[in-house]
Amino acid sequence: MANSQLKTALTAVDWNSHVVEFLNDESLTNKIHQCNLRLAVWSKQFENADKGNPALSFIREMQIAAQYTTVLISLALYKPAAAAIRTVFETALYYTYFRTHPTELATLIRDEDFYVPKKFIIEYHQTHSPKFDTFQNCFGLLGQINNWYPTVSAVIHGQIPGAWVAHRSISEIRYVPANARTVTQNFEDAEKLVYELFLCTVGVALWDSFSTAAKRSLLHGLPGATKAILGLDSA
């Protein structure tokens, strides 16, 4: 029976051993932990500073996508992780726009044909977010987005056949260190884009409402010159 064949294929994979192999690579797990931790810090501060804003649903979705990414990498499901990683970035981007556009958010929820493209939101920030171009120049943010986004999208849409895949059937799924490193790096890149995007937009706007501990955590490692340009304090 087809059902028994599916059971055979799924039970042939030692999912637990994949997780164990993943956890044994502390260089990867530390990187993934730090990404999730910084996203959690942002999320907690936004939940407090922007309390009651319906656009916070995007921040919660961002966190869930980051958690899915972690799980998928640990299970050696590398290509599916690409979609979760892109969701981390996209939901962060949506929050930066929809938090101040409740009418459009209501339309987005109500009308399945309504869509606000990434390019529109970026152009919105360039026009309306104070000093956005000055801030993003500190990081080269727009250039990074334009390089990263098409690449991960190409993986998701199968435009790079075989990318992040090392098996031809379910039963052949296995932990592949090289793929794990590639996907982890992509996740790091996405989290870094989110970090810089928030610093250039909503993070600056809500900074005064953040806790001192969160400010210090988020500013850790940021060059003093960049802090000065952004006008962010740690107290």
The 10s digit of each residue's pLDDT in 45-69 is: 999 999 999 999 999 999 999 999 9
Say how far apart CA 35 and CA 2 lie, in whole Å. 41
Residue 92 inside a domain? The answer is yes
**Range 72-83 average pLDDT:** 96
Say how far apart CA 103 and CA 113 lie, in whole Å. 15
| pTM for the model | 0.96
Q: Which of 68, 70, 58 is nearest to 33 (CA)?
A: 70
Contact 15, 77 (CB under 8 A): no
Residue 4 inside a domain? The answer is no
Helix, strand, coil in percent for the chain, rounding step 5: 75, 0, 25
Tokens of 93: 């981007």
Residue 235 inside a domain? The answer is no
For 141, half-sphere exposure in the C-beta direction (CA atoms, 13 angstrom radius) is 23
Residue 108 inside a domain? The answer is yes
Task: Quote the percentage of the chain above a pLDDT of 90.
Answer: 90
Contact 181, 28 (CB under 8 A): yes
Position 2 scores a pLDDT of: 57
Residue 3 inside a domain? The answer is no
Residue 6 inside a domain? The answer is no
Least confident of 71-80, 83-92, 126-135, 165-174: 165-174
Residue 1 inside a domain? The answer is no
Higher pLDDT, 130 or 160: 130
Overall number of domains in the chain: 1
Say how far apart CA 9 and CA 68 lie, in whole Å. 23
**Range 79-98 average pLDDT:** 98
Residue 2 inside a domain? The answer is no
**Range 139-168 average pLDDT:** 93
Position 3 scores a pLDDT of: 80
Per-residue pLDDT band for 9 (boundaries 50, 70, 90) equals: confident
Q: Please, where are the H alpha helices in 50-140?
A: 56-74, 78-98, 102-110, 118-128, 132-137
Position 160 scores a pLDDT of: 84
Predicted confidence (pLDDT) at residue 1 exceeds the cutoff of 80: no
Position 161 scores a pLDDT of: 84
Structural domain boundaries, residue 49 = 14-230
**Range 217-233 average pLDDT:** 96
For 128-142, the DSSP string reads HSTTHHHHHHTTTHH
Task: Quote the percentage of the chain above a pLDDT of 70.
Answer: 99
Element (H, E) at 148: helix 141-156
Position 157 scores a pLDDT of: 93
What does R_g of the chain's alpha carbons equal in angstroms?
19
Tokens of 208: 């005064």
